[in-house]
A and B are shown apart, each in its own frame.
Chain A
Amino acid sequence: MTAALIWIFLPFSAAIGLWALSRHPVQVTRLATLLCLFLAAIAWLIPIGKALRLGPLTLEIQPILLFAGRRLSLTDADRPLLIFFFTIAAFWFAGARQAGSHRFFIPYGLAIVSFLVAAIAVEPFLYSALMIEMAVLLSIPILFPPGQRNVGPGLLRYLIFQTLAMPFILLAGWALDGVQANPTDINLIALASLFLSLGFAFWLAIFPFYTWVPLLAGETHPYTVGFLYLLLPTTSLLLGLEFINAYGWLRNAPQLYLLLRWMGALMVITAGIWSAFQHNAGRLFGYALIIETGFSLLAVSLNSRLGIEIFTMLFLPRVIGFGLWALSSSILLRAGRSMEFQQLERAAEEWPFASTGLIVACLSLAGLPLLAHFPIRLVLLEQVARQSPLLAVWVLGGNIGFLLSTFRLLAVVTGGYFGPRQPGERPLQITLLSIGALSLVMIGLLPRLFLPMFTGLLSAFTRLP
């Protein structure tokens, strides 16, 4: 049995089966969550490419599957990535019913996860552009479910920008092959860099191509948007690291790190400033994603082992922060409120747990001390300040813009008198929200215990510092 069959073709086939069963949402939720937990568990327990003896039986998962002349390769070093993807999927699918997401969310979500794993696995990895495009096309029905009235500009821009990334990455693959054959051709290096930069700028919604991010977050269901905003940029960031890992000339180019530093800083600064003027909690989440991507780019731009470790340590607070934000917003949305600040006024009276979840998630994403994002952002800013003190101050300023907006949201949801009322949330929703909020506090209090959990992801990138 090959790894690609287990972690790509099995979830994709299951997605088709679950789509057929989508009118039974309870069973679909259970099956999808259990399948993702099972896939994460076998990635954790069974080594790839090594024989495992279970009594008389010998079990071996082959790392490579030949498919139409190309290789789908998932090696032992990719196991942390597989655990990461399928745990996130399980976490998200488990809360889907409580969040009131559409019945198509789980089948399409599972198919998207399998395409994203294929994007990581496919060799040569320029084919990953086509896999990500497939995942983007599959995401449209869950972002714009049947029965919804108007197609928003955010959705169309998302489709346009993500689709335009594909040709640039494919052309970058061709140019990079040329550079490998002729490393002294300066013009070809410049061309490869240009294609690569544009491709990743479209994929990761890097400044100035990020206008769709807050728009889409404001016009679609928060749970779906949270899922996609977590998985798509993470896959693109990991593919970006793979490019840097694979090509020596790229890895050793100081201009790359300078470009990443400026792009990352610009994203944090501009998104922070725009978020300070926001009146919609959905769009605020879009800006949070831009800021998170900006911090990830800043971490890679450090060009050091610590920088790459910071890059992976940013994942855990992001997963929990986005998850809590998405669940809280979905519960408030189900209660008949929109994400406009006006509609959220005094929401904490009726929905205390959902409002607390929303605020704690936003405060953590804003990097408030004692919450999960703070310790790692502090280390990152210290490192950036060593290389460029003024830039670190500007980045901090951008972060403060987001924090101001979060304080405004806090004033809106808590404004007014709090009498003794029955909370509107269901017991399971209260439990999930409480776990999320407490996790963010615990990670903030004990960062050394939790944050290094994802550094295992780096085992796939052997040539990075």
Chain B
Amino acid sequence: MTFADLLLLPLLLVTFSTLVILISQNWKYSILALALQYVGVFWLINGLWPLGLAVVKLVAGWMACAVLSASQPAEDVREEQTSPTAPAFRILAASLALALVISVEPSVEVRIPVNRFILIGGLLLIGVGWLHLGMTTRPIRVIIGLLTALSGFEILYAAVETSILIAGLQAAVTLGLALVGAYLIAAPTMEETP
């Protein structure tokens, strides 16, 4: 049994990390969960690609997490006050997304015949990423939602395309999004020099 064969573990890791991202209102936990999510993404993609190529996703993802965390203000780790029922509602919404993913996975498997854990992982990230985008208007949250959705897509795309250039450009987009996120947070405090 190889590292790539244990695909249930990264699926659980991805599920747990997306849930934390969806529920947490503390940016430190969210970015930590995002970093953990990239470990899961790397592991799932390693089931399809050689290790050397799959590790690009991990490195780019972790760099994105580092850029995002470096741009956060030191104080005020809690982002916004939400009602006590909000986490329950978000868990319910994520459960619905998971149910949808499990129901559509067999039809996706017809077109993309790879391990079902890989497909579920990819579809789950897309679903929860979109859910996240629909629930927030804060720049950092939007960037995390976009990175989550794009990670899911990258897993699915890795199953159909093995191109070094595409992997490189996708890594550039991941880093670019993180830089944009950092910029959107920092720009209001930057010096105005028209």
Enumerate chain A interface residues (CB-CB to B < 8 A): 23, 68-70, 100, 102-103, 127, 130, 133-134, 137, 140-141, 144-151, 153, 156, 159-160, 163-164, 166-167, 170-171, 174, 188, 191
Q: Are A102 and B169 in contact (CB under 8 A)?
A: no
B49 at the interface (CB under 8 A from A): no
Main secondary structure of the interface of A (DSSP, over half): helix
Task: Please indicate the chain A residues that have their CB under 8 angstroms from the CB of B191 in the complex.
Answer: 146-147
Q: Across the interface, name the chain A residue whose C-beta is closest to B187.
A: A146
Enumerate chain B interface residues (CB-CB to A < 8 A): 111, 133, 137, 139, 142, 145-146, 149-150, 153, 156-157, 160-161, 164-166, 168-170, 172-173, 176-177, 179-180, 183-184, 187-188, 190-194
Q: Are B142 and A159 in contact (CB under 8 A)?
A: yes
Q: Are B142 and A160 in contact (CB under 8 A)?
A: yes
Complex partner residue of B183 from A68, A141, A171, A191, CB under 8 angstroms? A141
Q: Are B165 and A68 in contact (CB under 8 A)?
A: yes
Q: Are A100 and B194 in contact (CB under 8 A)?
A: yes
Question: What are 22 A-B residue pairs whose CB atoms fall within 8 Å in the complex?
Answer: A69-B164, A69-B165, A103-B194, A127-B166, A130-B173, A133-B176, A134-B172, A134-B173, A137-B177, A141-B183, A144-B184, A144-B187, A145-B187, A148-B188, A151-B184, A156-B139, A156-B142, A160-B145, A163-B146, A163-B177, A171-B156, A171-B157
Q: Which of B149, B150, B160, B169 has the most CB of A within 10 A?
A: B169
Task: Please indicate the chain B residues that have their CB under 8 angstroms from the CB of A164 in the complex.
Answer: 146, 149
Identify 10 new A-B residue pairs, CB closer than 8 A, beyond the known A150-B188, A174-B161: A127-B169, A130-B173, A134-B172, A134-B173, A134-B176, A147-B193, A160-B146, A167-B149, A167-B150, A170-B153
Q: Across the interface, name the chain B residue whose C-beta is closest to A147.
A: B192
Bound CA span A340–B6, Å: 59
Bound CA span A188–B107, Å: 12
Q: Across the interface, name the chain A residue whose C-beta is closest to B126.
A: A167
Bound CA span A191–B194, Å: 47
Q: Are A166 and B173 in contact (CB under 8 A)?
A: yes
Task: Please indicate the chain B residues that have their CB under 8 angstroms from the CB of A156 in the complex.
Answer: 137, 139, 142
Task: Please indicate the chain B residues that have their CB under 8 angstroms from the CB of A102 in the complex.
Answer: 194
Task: Indicate whether A153 sits within 8 Å of B137 (C-beta atoms), given known contacts A137-B177, A147-B187, A164-B149.
Answer: yes
Q: Are A140 and B142 in contact (CB under 8 A)?
A: no
Q: Are A137 and B165 in contact (CB under 8 A)?
A: no
Bound CA span A133–B194, Å: 26
Bound CA span A191–B108, Å: 11
Complex partner residue of B194 from A145, A167, A170, A171, CB under 8 angstroms? A145
Bound CA span A147–B180, Å: 15
Bound CA span A191–B160, Å: 14
Task: Please indicate the chain B residues that have their CB under 8 angstroms from the CB of A166 in the complex.
Answer: 150, 173
Task: Please indicate the chain B residues that have their CB under 8 angstroms from the CB of A137 in the complex.
Answer: 173, 176-177, 179-180
Q: Are B173 and A133 in contact (CB under 8 A)?
A: yes
Task: Indicate whether A167 sits within 8 Å of B157 (C-beta atoms), given known contacts A159-B142, A191-B111.
Answer: yes
Task: Indicate whether A148 sits within 8 Å of B160 (C-beta atoms), given known contacts A130-B170, A137-B180, A156-B137.
Answer: no
A244 CB → nearest B CB, Å: 23
Task: Indicate whether A146 sits within 8 Å of B192 (C-beta atoms), given known contacts A134-B172, A156-B137, A160-B142.
Answer: yes
Bound CA span A150–B190, Å: 12
Q: Are A70 and B165 in contact (CB under 8 A)?
A: yes
Task: Please indicate the chain A residues that have their CB under 8 angstroms from the CB of B177 in the complex.
Answer: 137, 163
Complex partner residue of B180 from A100, A140, A153, A188, CB under 8 angstroms? A140
Q: Are B169 and A130 in contact (CB under 8 A)?
A: yes
Bound CA span A357–B187, Å: 32
Q: Across the interface, name the chain B residue whose C-beta is closest to A67.
A: B165
Top 5 nearest A-B pairs (CB, nearest first) are A147-B192, A146-B190, A167-B153, A137-B176, A130-B169
Q: Are B160 and A147 in contact (CB under 8 A)?
A: no
